[in-house]
Amino acid sequence: MCLDISFYSALELIDSYFPQLTHDGDIDFDLDMGMHFLALGYSRYPVIVEESGRYHRKFFEWGVIAEYMDTPEKIKAMRKSMVNARSEKILDDKRSFWNRIRKTRCLIPVTGFYEHREIKGWKNKVPYYIRQKDRDMFCIPGLYHYNTKIPSNIETGEVRGMFTLITRAANPLMRQIHNSGDNAFRMPLLLPKEKELEWLRPDLTDEEMAGLLAYELPSDQLTYDPVFSIRSHKPRPDGQPKNARFDYPNLPPLFEADSCDPSTPAPPPSGPVTQPGVQTSGVQTSDVQTSGATPSGPAPLSRTTPAPSLPGPTDPQTSLF
């Protein structure tokens, strides 16, 4: 599933993206938090909705609590499955919760997202930072919900909005990156900007929604860079931010590894990561697993022998979408 997203820029970037954007409340959000945002913390994140003909910026929790999750035990067990919504469930499964809330649509602004690649013979998965080409910011379609039966704050009775991020079957590039786990070969629903804005139209019909949900962004519209581990709290040995490219020695090229589709050409790697209006020089806190590795990496690997332990995420790569 898509558990890891990034908004690594000033919030004003969202304002310039959506004309006459209304801010509904203040947002406690900074660059360090936005560089890597993990779904399973159920933290609040800026999302965009359309109300009365205007775009509104809300501050919603990532991960929906449905009304049937009516005990703390059910919430603990089930909410992790509600951070993503399969596109196939929204219209095709009339019994699905996502079908019931399909009219409450939102957009999730990001500058990129992360996904992990499994490589045969390597102990740890390699994370990649993925972006839409030539776009400083883009939006992932989502759905949102207010659960009036279960206040977000028991003491004050506050009911917060909650959102889920929509996923779909992966395009050829993303099949090579998100290539393992119970829900392998999935990716976030990615659209061109004009289709993103269509997603928020209040008069969107189910037929029009089906067209958006079926859209597959071509692989050559994405850039991708391997990065160091993103889910540890230790700094990278090279002092770079989490979304900066990390060159692993003998990293098998995409579309040439064991899980590849050689019939589909891969777009070239995107090179060094730059973020609009953000200074990335100097040491910043990053999530890494430092098992004695340095930026130069371990000795070159053989395709026929198992690789030594390389920097990578220390937590299990559970996929829920």
The predicted pLDDT at position 156 comes to 78
Q: 46, 59 in Cβ contact below 8 A?
A: yes
The predicted pLDDT at position 279 comes to 34
pLDDT at 8 over 60: yes
Give Cβ neighbours of residue 78 (< 8 Å, ≥ 6 apart).
66, 69
Task: For residues 47-55, give the mean pLDDT.
Answer: 95
Tell which wins on pLDDT, 273 or 81.
Answer: 81
Q: Which domain holds residue 267?
A: 1-321
Which tens digits make up the pLDDT trace of 173-229?
999 999 998 889 999 999 999 999 999 999 999 999 999 999 999 999 999 999 998
Please, which pLDDT band fits residue 245 given cuts at 50, 70 and 90?
very high
Task: For residues 7-16, give the mean pLDDT.
Answer: 82
Q: 306, 298 in Cβ contact below 8 A?
A: no
Task: For residues 80-108, give the mean pLDDT.
Answer: 96
Closest CA to 40 of 63, 19, 73: 63
Give Cβ neighbours of residue 47 (< 8 Å, ≥ 6 apart).
57, 58, 59, 60, 106, 107, 108, 109, 142, 144, 161, 163
Q: How many CA atoms lie within 13 A of 5 on its CB side?
A: 31
Q: What is residue 129's three-state secondary structure?
A: strand
Task: For residues 125-152, give the mean pLDDT.
Answer: 93
Q: 317, 129 in Cβ contact below 8 A?
A: no
How far apart CA 17 and CA 200 sit, in angstroms, is 14
- Which of 224-233, 238-247, 290-299 shows the lowest mean pLDDT across its residues? 290-299
Please, which pLDDT band fits residue 232 given cuts at 50, 70 and 90?
confident
Task: For residues 276-296, give the mean pLDDT.
Answer: 33
pLDDT at 278 over 60: no
Question: Any idea which residue has 């919030």 for tokens?
Answer: 11
The predicted pLDDT at position 311 comes to 42
What's the CATH number where 160 sits? Answer: 3.90.1680.10
Structure tokens at 173: 């590039």
Question: Any idea which residue has 């959000």 for tokens?
Answer: 29
Please, which pLDDT band fits residue 43 given cuts at 50, 70 and 90?
confident
- Which of 64-68, 104-108, 309-313 shows the lowest mean pLDDT across its residues? 309-313
Please, which pLDDT band fits residue 277 given cuts at 50, 70 and 90?
very low
User: Could you give the number of structural domains in the chain?
Assistant: 1
Determine what percent of the chain falls in helix, strand and coil, rounding each to the nearest 5: 20, 25, 55
